[in-house]
Amino acid sequence: MTYRDMSDVTRIQYLRSDIVVPTGMYETAARFFSAYIASNQVKDDNEELYMKKAVGQAIELALITERVINETGTAGGSGMDQDRPTDPFLRK
């Protein structure tokens, strides 16, 4: 079902379609999930719920990141706060 090679993406065969998942998505979801574990929120009866929540948050973060990069033409560190001070995601 899952094919992994030494590249930076994973190809998943799902309903006869290839889905490409960057490795960073797995790492981000794992970090979110480990934070839930560290804060004692994950129990035996809700483990799958928190896994799904972590994956959803990783996807949402990736989508927002892609949107900001596409809108600003940069990955940050070059004055995005000055360019878009009204963006609620960038307020301090």
Q: What is the per-residue pLDDT across 33-92, written as a single tens digit (0 to 9) for each?
A: 999 999 999 999 999 999 999 999 998 998 888 888 888 877 655 544 555 555 555 554
Q: What pLDDT, on the 0 to 100 scale, is given for residue 92?
A: 47
Residues 6+ apart with CB under 8 A from 3: 10, 11, 12, 13
| Sequence-distant (≥ 6) Cβ neighbours of residue 33 within 8 angstroms | 42, 50, 51, 54
Domain extent, residue 71, equals 23-78
53 within some domain: yes
The predicted pLDDT at position 33 comes to 97
Indicate the DSSP class of residue 40: T
Residue 36, in any domain of the structure: yes
What is the tens place of the pLDDT at every residue in 2-31? 444 545 555 555 555 555 677 788 899 999
Which amino acid belongs to residue 5?
A: D
The number of folded domains in the chain is 1
Is 15 part of any domain?
A: no
